[in-house]
Structure formats: C-alpha cells, structure tokens
Chain A
Amino acid sequence: MKQLLILSGKGGTGKTTVAAAFIRLAAAKAYGDCDVDAPNLHLVTAQSTELERTDYFGMPKARIDHEICTGCGLCRENCRFDAILQRDGFDTDRFACEGCGVCEVICPVHAIRMEPAIAGELNLYRNPETVFSTAILKTGSGTSGKLVTEVKKQLLKNMYPDTELIVIDGSPGIGCPVIASLSGVDMVLIVAEPSVSGIKDMKRIIETARIFRTRIGVCINKHNTNPVKSEAIEEYCAGEGIPFAGRIPFDRAAVEAINRQMTIADVDCPSGTAVRKVFSQTMKILSSEKEGANL
C-alpha cells in the first residue's frame, strides 16, 4: 500500500483537479482531503450516502458565569487576545479566545470556566468500493495540523484491506497542516503554477518535502498560461535532480467538467489527455527507488 500526497504551496494551482483525476485513473480505493480550511474534493467525487460524522474539538473557550461575576474586570485586563468584552457585563469573544486559561485562573471568584469547544467536523464516507475521509473546520477556527492528522488517521483506520494506493489532496501553504499531511507519505507530487508567486511557493514546498526524505515529483498545471516560466520550472527540476512528471494545459473543457462534477480524466479534452501522461509518470516515480531517482 502506497500513499501519494498532492501539494502545491500556492492555492488555486489545480491540486484538487489533479487529485480527482488521479483517483479516477488509479481507481483508488482510499482517498482523503486534507485541505480542511476549504475542502473541495467531495464536489467532484461521487459519494454514497453513508456518512459518519465526528466532532473535532479545538482549544477550549472561556465562559463567564454572570451569576457569580462581580464585574472586577481582572479577566479583561489580563487577556492578551482582547477576547473579553464588556457589554452588559463581561462576555467572551469566542472567535478571539485562544483558550489559554489565564482568565479562569485569575478570576478571584471562580466565575470563569474553560469549556470544550467544537472546532470542526470529521467526515468519513463509506462507499461500496472506496473510502473517503475529509473534514471541515468551523468558520473562524484556527487551521490545525491536528485535524489534518485526524483525517489521515481516519482514512488509514477505515480503508478496505485490499487498498493499494491512497491519494491525498493536500492543503495549500507551507505551514503546519502541510507538514502534518506529509507524515508517512511515499511520494509527494507538487502541482506547480508557472508564475512568480507559484514558483516561489513551489521551492518552499520542495524544501519542506525534502526534510521528510520522501520521493518528490513536480508537474506543471496550466503551463500554457506562461510558457517561459514553465520552461524555467522544468530547468529548475533538472538542475535539482527532481523527477519531472509532465505538463497539463489550461483548457475550458476542464472547467466545464468540474462544473458537471466530473474529473478531467472523464472527459476527452487536452487537459484530460495530459493528466493521463502525468499520472503514468507519477506512478513510475512512486515505484522507483527512494531518494530522487532521476527518470
């Protein structure tokens, strides 16, 4: 069983589009969406109705008991996050509260308690042949590597025993959620965008993936939007010894396919043809020897 993670660094490069196509082409029996801030994979992968929901708890939030509160204001004075408001008495701003517990411990009359707070929801879809794990963060919650870890744990725990390939749609950025998604992965495919900011972010993601000593591959999406930058990316990969998995053009048919909840591999179009080649190249890299086999 191998785990393939799809990352991009910058948002909007086409991670989910590529991930969905790969899931279709590989007939992957297990897949997950680790972009918990803005999950999209469920929109283009058909799911059965069997859905298991689990509450996800983040940091606790402070609650002030008005019956006990004497209005001394010590909590507000000591809150470093401006999370205690004085309106009709003292109240917590649940969005600003970081759950540190200072108010609870400083209140002279013990009017404040830290209470568990639901920060999101884990979703597990059990289909007859496949299992899909995803999650959604509640609006305003902090993005957390912990929820990403839960999405992966849930997938590994519930997948069918004959699963050969797991495809994971990763989160954008380079922070903790990305690092959490890298754990235990056999290969990272980076979807790069041929732009100044896209290349900047691609390099940072490569740096991060290298720390985990996982196989890396790079493909370019929407390469025809900037042929010069696309060349630069290919040259960079060659220079760094990073296997290049191919190029996918931008094409209108891709957008239409998505809007009809289909993957680009389902439609006969230029990006569909290209993604098939990228897929087969990615599979070659995945089954190669570790530590950057140059194909």
Chain B
Amino acid sequence: MRKSFFRLPIFIRDFMVMRNKGTVVAVLSGKGGTGKTLISVNLARVSGECRYLDCDVEEPNGYLFFKPENPAMEEVTVEIPEVLEAACNGCRKCVDFCRFNAMAFIKEKPYIFPEVCHSCGGCMLLCPEKALVPREKTVGRIEEGKSGEVTVVTGILNVGEASGMPVIKKLTGKYLPDQPGLTFIDCPPGSACTVMESIRKADYCILVAEPTLFGEHNLRMVYDLTGFFKKRSGVVLNKCSDGTNPSEDFCRENHIPVLGRIPFDMTLGILTSDAKIAADEKPEFADLFKDILENLKKEVSDEAALDSER
C-alpha cells in the first residue's frame, strides 16, 4: 500500500483492509468465568454479517445465547488402531512402543483402549505383520447454523474423550475460511495447547480481565502467551466498578490498549445468566459493544497499516 493510502479517512481504510481478507479475532482469558463468551457473543451480534467460532469444545456455551436454527452437523473423527487377530504374531512391539499406555497385551493378543489412544499411528507403522489397521472413531462434532446475521459454529467434544485438539484443529482448519469479514473465536480458558491452537490463526487477540487480584494474575499469564506467539492484543475489562483495578494498572504499565470497560451491572448479569444476548435486549448494551467494536477495528487497521509499511 502506498503512502497515499494513509491520507484516506479512517473508515475507508478500515473498509479496504477488511475487504481484502478476513479478520480473525480471538477472545481469551486466563481463567473461566471472566466474560469471554459474553464479549465474543455480543461483539459478533453487533458486527452484522460475521462468524462466531466456539473453540471451548469441553464446555461450549455460545450456542445457548445464539440458539442457531437447524444447525448442520459434521462429526469429528480420529484414527485409532484395530487388531486383525488372525494376522497378529504376538510380537508385542505395538504394546511396548505405546507411550500413552493405550494398549495392553493379554493372553498373547494386544488390546486397545480407545479413550487413552492419542492417534499417533506408531503402533500401525511398527507392526511387522500389518495386523493393526486404522478405524475411525468419533470424538466430537461441529455444528453450524445461523442466528440472525451471525454464522454460529460450535465445536463439541464428547464427554470422556482425551483431547479437544482434533475438534479445534477442524474448526481452525475448515471453518476459518480466508474470506472477507470478521470472525470471533471464543477460546477455551487457561493457557494450555487447546488455547494455543485456537489463537494460531488469529490476527488479533482480545484479553478479558476482571478487576481483581486474581484477574490481574490471570491476565498476566495469558498476555505472556499471546506475546510469545507475537499476537497483537488489547484488553477488555469486565465487571468494573469504582475502586482499584489491578488489571487496568497492569495494562497501563505494559502499554496494552484497553478496548473497553464493561461495568459490573446486575441487569447485564441477569441477562447473561439467562443466556440472553445483552445487545439484543437493551440499546445501552448494544452501544457499549459497538464502541468496543469500533476500538477493535481501529486497532486492527492500525496494525494492518503498519504491516504494509514493513
């Protein structure tokens, strides 16, 4: 982009930047219950036509708010081994190799424990008799449906399954197309690999923090994580009231942009606990989230502008 681009008014720049490729915004926090879903759901609602991806596959909650119509379903499967007993010569190489202890060798035959298996494929590669063959096992599913202008994509991990990674990888692989428009990703809480995979393709990260000592501590952890992956981040402070806000202090000290402050509000709390989308229910909440969205767009377009100069 040439220098003349920067002489254009901001809203036109925004439009041009967002038209070229989609913008993926991940919403995350160090722990659960800070307001990730509240914020990602409401931001999606005030963004017109956009996508919402729920990567918190162990406990997806966004769909409770959106109530998408007639969602289309796709199963997520992994490959696990199956024993062809006739071909097995009882050499035990498979059982001895498995670092996840997903196999046992009893009465000269291998037995597989599907929930413990991590689908690495090693046993099948090692078997000298080709007695281990792949079979598909369903570990979860993805549901896609519409709620107004928002395309709601929910990843769901089946109870008892070892890892949410296959579901999240499917979400970020297949359901994050490189199309124009905004996509909001509701990430799992914490800073484990599932979170890393959820933010891998994000262009920007919104970190949600509470104004308590716990909140600041957890913000620090998740800020380190996004920094490590060189993701540009901004903070939304939730449940704010008068008084000290250790999380806000942290932002100031580290020059992290604050995209918005959501006040502690009983009405907002009740709406959310009833799984209602606040922006739909009251104009003042719609305005609150629209302001955050504007700040977000400004941050993202600044970053894109910076990128083009490099």
Contacts and interface: CB of A to CB of B under 8 A. Distances in A.
Contact of A11 (B33, B118, B273, B274): B33
A196 interface: yes
A143 B190 CA distance: 9
A105 B126 contact: yes
A194 B273 contact: yes
B243 A255 contact: yes
B32 A10 contact: yes
B175 interface: no
Interface string B199-228: 000000000001111100110010011001
A78 B34 CA distance: 40
A91 interface: no
A181 to B, nearest CB: 16
A12 interface: yes
Given A38-B30, A80-B119, A142-B193, A258 B213 contact: yes
A143 B188 CA distance: 12
Contact of B196 (A12, A140, A224, A229): A140
A100 B98 CA distance: 7
B192 A143 contact: yes
A49 interface: no
A255 B273 contact: no
A98 interface: yes
Contacts of A236: none
A198 interface: yes
Contacts of B30: 38
Contacts of B190: 37-38, 143
A102 B97 CA distance: 9
**Range, interface on chain B:** 35 or more
**Range, interface on chain A:** 35 or more
Main SS class of interface, B = loop
B163 to A, nearest CB: 8
B266 interface: yes
A226 B273 contact: yes
A258 B228 contact: no
Given A105-B97, A198-B273, A255 B191 contact: no
B273 A38 contact: no
Nearest to A99: B99
A225 B266 contact: yes
B177 interface: no
A253 to B, nearest CB: 10
Interface of B: 30-34, 37, 58-59, 61, 64, 97, 99-100, 118-122, 125-126, 159, 163, 189-193, 196, 210-214, 217-218, 221, 224-225, 228, 241, 243-244, 246, 266, 269-270, 272-275
Query: Which 4 pairs across A and B sit closest by C-beta, in order of nearness?
Result: A12-B33, A11-B32, A195-B273, A100-B120
